[in-house]
Amino acid sequence: AERLTQERSRDYMNARRVSKEYEAITRTLNKSAPSVPPTGLSDEQKQIETWKTYINWERSNPLKVEDPALIGRRVMFAYEQSLLCLGHHPDIWFEAALYLQDTAKILQEKGDVEI
């Protein structure tokens, strides 16, 4: 029972750490911004950089998940959320497409998915 408690405690502390990191990274994201064509304003650039920081954070696998499919779903969720606000920014679309292509290749090599 003590071993199980220690294991759960470790999982809890990891989730707590990741939750705090998530809050710090996404605090300045404006998730309700409308998707408009790029204007080049400094506020827009800050949002783009913040979204990219969040996406790269998800790509770094902060939860230390071993399932590549789960990591892929988490990263694609981050891309999808960013595209709700940055739908007119082709570089985000391109990055998402490249990520999907790379992830599909990795999963295919592992035999987890057939393309």
Per-residue pLDDT of 32-69, as tens digits, reads 999 999 999 999 999 999 999 999 999 999 999 998 88
Q: pLDDT-derived band of residue 111, with 50, 70 and 90 as boundaries?
A: confident
Instruction: Give pLDDT, residue 115.
Output: 53
- Of 18, 21, 85, 74, the C-alpha closest to 51 is 85
Average pLDDT in the 81-102 region?
Answer: 97
**Half-sphere exposure (CA, 13 Å, Cβ side) for 98?**
7
Side-chain-side CA neighbours of residue 67 (13 Å): 5
- In this prediction, residues 78-99 reach a mean pLDDT of 97
